[in-house]
Structure 1
Amino acid sequence: MTAKRWWMGVSAAVLAAGVLAGCARSETGGAGEAEDGGPLAVSMALTQVGEIPAKDNAVEKLLEEYTETELDIQWIPQSAYDEKVSVMMASKEMPKIIKLNYVPLVINAIRSGDFWEIGPYLPEYPNLSAQDEQHYKNISVEGKIYGVPLFRDMGRATFNYRKDWLDKLGLDIPTNPDEWYEAQKAFVTGDPDGNGKDDTYGWMLDKQYNTGISALLTRLAVANGSVNKWGIVDGKMTPDFTQPEFFEVLSMFRCMYEEKLINQDFAVLDGSEVGLKFDAGTAGFGNSVAGALKSQHERLTKADPDAVVDNSGFIGPEGIRLAGEPGHNGFLAIPKSSVKTEDELKRILAFLDDMMNEDAANLLVRGIKDVHYADTDDGKTEITDFDAFQLEVKPYRDNLLYVEGYNTKPLKDTPQGEKGTRMAKENLQYAVPNEALTLTSAMYSERGNELETMIGDAMTKYIMGEIDEAGWQKEIENWRKAGGDEVIREFQESYDSIHK
């Protein structure tokens, strides 16, 4: 379902109310005047990014002008952020907008009624409701929306690859486990760098190969047809490692390990070391994100000017199929303790919506014209003072609402940079969500880390040949008995309660 269809599905009563709600805005489209006729006062708690911007700096003053507000921003260091937010929530002394992370403390506060549910109001705000529905689903609590996500790309999962190596070896981009195995073997034994030695790899694994949202094992399994961590299979909530498509990829790595086609130290190798191996021309495949193609190309060609690096979405038997990412860097919520009326809530939402209008959007993603960026002759923009942008604009961009390319001109960049930006948008359609991302399970809250470690260790044992297929199935049964079946049942109940 597209974002537009999702919002159209909201009740007619709410949409009708939206016609009247437009009166909350001023005629110029801003968030509306305060009761005394001046700009709307908006206090916010945000994460400090770099140095704290000086009060009344040029970027902040323009943002206030574009949104008809008077901002009071409390910048909190990242290291102390969650602790500070916890104190604020406990005392009920919060600003009108607070950046929250999707963590148990916050979810419990939402369930306690401390924050406004904003889902029914979103159709009234054209910029907020124009964004893909999955962004909002991924911060929902029991199917309801209590904030506006700090939008991030969900379909950015890609891999970098040495195109010159593939071309030299006469290979295409792999699309299934068998082809990945053949490409891996060719990169190890076919001397793609031409130095006469078997000193190259395709994939190199690290100790995080099976954990986190960017886990290589998950990304390859999803491309092969598996669910993304958790999904609905035949109407039932199902973990990925029980699926045959996942086991095919796991077995592929087992064969690679047995034949010494992948690094034998992967279980203890840090991920940063793998990145350095690609930069140095030792690895031919690199697990990455679309926007990193530019920097990867620049690093690699410093070491080898003749190298050619490209990237691709993960491709499987059904075409591109990506492990979708959460699509947010936290979310902006509105506390009931500081925003007490529906009328004020609507003015705050109007401010958030106005933040994505053209003038404010350009400010947040490009900065100030002729200071941080300039227009180009081909209808694009280019950053002219990157250091000043990082210092003066980035703190606002990273904490507030923006979507690259939405109400902004394209950014002129290198071919690799422009491809990375384009792919992150185009590949959204191929992103497979983790269906359990916002579900609740008491057992998972209590023992989730232990259970994930248990099955993750079993994956490593299987790859390294310490257990066979029967042993792998036994490990799954052990996981089930240790609480896994209870997690499945509770996730199913949570899912059913939302989708009934």
Structure 2
Amino acid sequence: MKRNQRILKPLCAAVLTTALLTACGAKEEAKTGSAAAEDKSAAPLPISLVVQQVGEVPGKDSPIQQAMEKYTNTKLDFQWIPSAAFDDKINVMVASGELPKAMRLKWNASTLNSTRDGLFHEIGPLLKDYPNLSALNQMYYDNVKVDGKIYGLPLYRDIGRAGIVFRKDWMDKLGLKVPVTLDDWYNVSKEIATKDPDGNKQNDTYALFLDKSFTGPGSANTMTRLAVSQGAPNKWGMINGKMTPDFMTKEYMDTLKLFRKLYAEKLINQDFSVAQTTDNDNKWNNGKLGLRIAVASTAEGYNDLVKKSTPSAVTDVAPMTGPKGILLPGEPGNNGLYVFPKSSVKTEAELKRILKFFDQLLDAPMANLLARGIEGTHYEKADGGKVKWKDLTAFQKDVKPYRDMLPSFEVGGKASPLQNPELTDKMWKIVDENLKYSVPNPALTLNSPTYTEKGAELDNMMIDSQTKYVMGKIDDAAWQAEVDKWMKAGGSKVIDEYTAEYNKLNKK
């Protein structure tokens, strides 16, 4: 999904238009009230940044970079590293100690180890001094904590992405509503699979099409999204004083039993254990699929795809709603994070000035610059205080590399709203509102030595067991035996370690 097409919360369009002109060097700078003006008498602050390459590497004469430098009174030196070489290059830089002022890291074991080794400044206590950084939802920061402390600024991405994309024309034809309870999901699945909604007199349609990634270690899969909507925890939950994996809860098992029933009655595809995500896509694209538990912001794209085979198709989108209302798993909310090496950022004063630069990137002028580009070049005004693309190809080339690698992208709804189709407006409204219904994973940043060592093995054990259970290859007793096996293989230690870590970090 192209995030540049996002519809944002209205925020005084006239002011934003003025703000954008500021970013592009217009004479309205004094009207923005930005902190940039405070530094005009000082020399520009040099900031070296190491980032992952996105598309073509922008030239140092890029008008986008020049606008950022002017607004923030900085001199930016980007080192763009190709994706294929990124991890290796970062490891070499860390080992050599030759580090930039700010570096974008992926959230992985190497990042955790470097942070715990004391390579980077802690920034959590300083964030309160920055109006934009401190105004962001705390979950963004909670999801990148190391041992309960904040060392990095996330590259913000949506936390509440899940939604139901569905064929509204089929649902209307069969008199169906968007499912809420597991019984609803069963009934919708049965009706669509047996009542020939496409009218070709064949039973060749499904409500849901599963592939082998229907469950997994992350939060962005069908099983987790549906189970959380029914009240299950997001991967882990603190239950009766102990960290508990989702598959040990009733709500999760009820959802798994639904898939088992659908499989037994041939209401979902029988080859799901070997099916690929592309098979799922093809089923939708060919007009044979009724619902997708997916990313809500993909609805417009799905609509375009199905209309190629079925021009009469009508696509709609709805939030993940269960018996207790809208609930969905919160996702990490970042595409990596920026850290600030102690070896290159020597003083707290310098650290604070660099943090100010990142705070300024969340001002309306910079948010608009990175989300829309330059008026007259990349976009132009439209009706109703909105804007429309003038040259999206130029935007992808000129702006996207910065947009994707700076933690300012459209956070807070400060960019001028785009003129979009009704479905696009609706899908982004759902994503925006999803944040307050997102269930966090309390174990996301907890330290478990056992999981670090055996996590992949333990995850695969339960993925395989869930697949066997859905296919009817094991019964309830055998399922419990698989859970017991997981406990003995290290799962019990993971539970104990997560519980101890959670309690340590959440002392009252």
Q: 1:290 aligns with which of 284, 288, 296?
A: 296
For residues 84-135 of structure 1, the C-alpha deviation after alignment (integer angstroms, 9 at most, x for no partner) is 1111111111110100111111111111111110000001001111110000
- 1:51 partnered with 2:85: no
For residues 257-299 of structure 1, the C-alpha deviation after alignment (integer angstroms, 9 at most, x for no partner) is 1111111110011112101211111111112212111111111
SS at 1:347 equivalent: helix
For residues 308-329 of structure 1, the C-alpha deviation after alignment (integer angstroms, 9 at most, x for no partner) is 1111121111011101111000
Q: 2:139 aligns with which of 114, 134, 140?
A: 134
Q: 2:389 aligns with which of 383, 389, 394?
A: 383
How far apart in 1 are the matches of 2:298 and 2:199? 27
Match of 1:335 in 2: 341
Q: Which amino acid in the other structure matches residue 299 of structure 1?
A: L
Cα offset for 1:37? 3.6
Cα offset for 1:493? 1.1
Q: Check whether the contact 2:222–2:294 (CA below 8 A) recurs between aligned residues.
A: no
Match of 1:64 in 2: 69
Q: 1:486 aligns with which of 489, 493, 505?
A: 493
How far apart in 2 are the matches of 1:435 and 1:118? 21
How far apart in 2 are the matches of 1:346 and 1:184? 55
Match of 1:169 in 2: 174
Match of 2:370 in 1: 364
Q: Check whether the contact 2:121–2:339 (CA below 8 A) recurs between aligned residues.
A: yes
Q: 1:321 aligns with which of 318, 322, 327?
A: 327
Match of 2:357 in 1: 351
Superposition pairs for residues 66-81 of structure 1, below 5 Å? Answer: 66-81=71-86
Match of 2:285 in 1: 279
Normalised by the size of structure 2, how large is the TM-score?
0.91
Q: Which moves more between the two structures, 445-454 or 300-309?
A: 300-309
Q: Which amino acid in the other structure matches residue 59 of structure 1?
A: I
Match of 1:197 in 2: 202
Cα offset for 1:403? 4.3
How far apart in 1 are the matches of 2:413 and 2:49? 24
Q: Check whether the contact 2:128–2:134 (CA below 8 A) recurs between aligned residues.
A: yes
Match of 2:165 in 1: 160
SS at 2:338 equivalent: strand
Match of 1:251 in 2: 257
Cα offset for 1:440? 0.7
SS at 2:405 equivalent: coil
Q: Which amino acid in the other structure matches residue 206 of structure 1?
A: D
How far apart in 2 are the matches of 1:334 and 1:30? 21
SS at 1:52 equivalent: coil
Match of 1:452 in 2: 459
SS at 1:30 equivalent: helix
For residues 12-58 of structure 1, the C-alpha deviation after alignment (integer angstroms, 9 at most, x for no partner) is xxxxxxxxxxxxxxx96129759x94211110001100111112111
Q: Which amino acid in the other structure matches residue 195 of structure 1?
A: N
How far apart in 1 are the matches of 2:279 and 2:39? 54
Q: Which amino acid in the other structure matches residue 308 of structure 1?
A: V
Cα offset for 1:412? 1.5
Q: Check whether the contact 1:373–1:383 (CA below 8 A) recurs between aligned residues.
A: yes
When the two chains are superposed, the root-mean-square deviation of aligned CA atoms in Å is 1.4
Q: 1:29 aligns with which of 26, 35, 39?
A: 35
Measured at CA, do residues 228 and 407 of structure 1 come closer, stay the same or move farther in structure 2, by a change above 3 Å? same
Match of 1:115 in 2: 120
Cα offset for 1:195? 1.0
Q: Check whether the contact 1:138–1:438 (CA below 8 A) recurs between aligned residues.
A: yes
How far apart in 2 are the matches of 1:115 and 1:163? 51
Q: Check whether the contact 2:54–2:401 (CA below 8 A) recurs between aligned residues.
A: yes
Q: 1:439 aligns with which of 437, 446, 451?
A: 446
Match of 2:418 in 1: 411
Q: Which amino acid in the other structure matches residue 122 of structure 1?
A: L
- 1:184 partnered with 2:189: yes
Q: Which moves more between the two structures, 367-376 or 127-136?
A: 367-376
How far apart in 1 are the matches of 2:356 and 2:373? 22
How far apart in 1 are the matches of 2:273 and 2:432? 33
Q: Which amino acid in the other structure matches residue 455 of structure 1?
A: M
SS at 2:480 equivalent: helix
SS at 2:155 equivalent: strand
How far apart in 2 are the matches of 1:63 and 1:290? 32
Cα offset for 1:441? 0.6
Could you list the structure 1 runs, at least 4 aligned residues long, displaced by more than 6 angstroms after superposition.
none
Match of 2:275 in 1: 269
Share of identical aligned residues, percent?
48
SS at 1:136 equivalent: helix
Q: Which amino acid in the other structure matches residue 168 of structure 2?
A: K
Superposition pairs for residues 204-219 of structure 1, below 5 Å? Answer: 204-211=209-216, 212-219=218-225
Q: Which amino acid in the other structure matches residue 52 of structure 2?
A: T
Matched residue pairs, number? Answer: 473
Q: 1:422 aligns with which of 429, 433, 436?
A: 429
Which residues of structure 2 form unaligned runs of 5+?
1-32
Q: Check whether the contact 2:34–2:360 (CA below 8 A) recurs between aligned residues.
A: no
Match of 2:130 in 1: 125
How far apart in 2 are the matches of 1:129 and 1:114? 24
SS at 1:345 equivalent: helix
Match of 2:26 in 1: none
For residues 187-207 of structure 1, the C-alpha deviation after alignment (integer angstroms, 9 at most, x for no partner) is 100101111110100100001
Higher relative contact order (CA 8 A, sep 6+): 2
- 1:146 partnered with 2:155: no
Q: 2:307 aligns with which of 301, 310, 313?
A: 301
- 1:86 partnered with 2:100: no
- 1:373 partnered with 2:379: yes
Match of 2:6 in 1: none
SS at 1:113 equivalent: coil
Measured at CA, do residues 468 and 28 of structure 1 come closer, stay the same or move farther in structure 2, by a change above 3 Å? closer
Cα offset for 1:406? 2.7
SS at 1:71 equivalent: strand
Q: Check whether the contact 2:379–2:391 (CA below 8 A) recurs between aligned residues.
A: yes
How far apart in 1 are the matches of 2:223 and 2:176? 22
Q: Which amino acid in the other structure matches residue 138 of structure 1?
A: N
Measured at CA, do residues 260 and 64 of structure 1 come closer, stay the same or move farther in structure 2, by a change above 3 Å? same
Cα offset for 1:176? 1.3
Q: Which amino acid in the other structure matches residue 503 of structure 2?
A: D
Cα offset for 1:374? 1.4
- 1:95 partnered with 2:110: no
Q: Check whether the contact 1:32–1:40 (CA below 8 A) recurs between aligned residues.
A: no
Q: 2:316 aligns with which of 307, 310, 330?
A: 310
Measured at CA, do residues 426 and 403 of structure 1 come closer, stay the same or move farther in structure 2, by a change above 3 Å? farther
Q: Check whether the contact 1:31–1:350 (CA below 8 A) recurs between aligned residues.
A: no
SS at 2:292 equivalent: strand
SS at 1:149 equivalent: strand
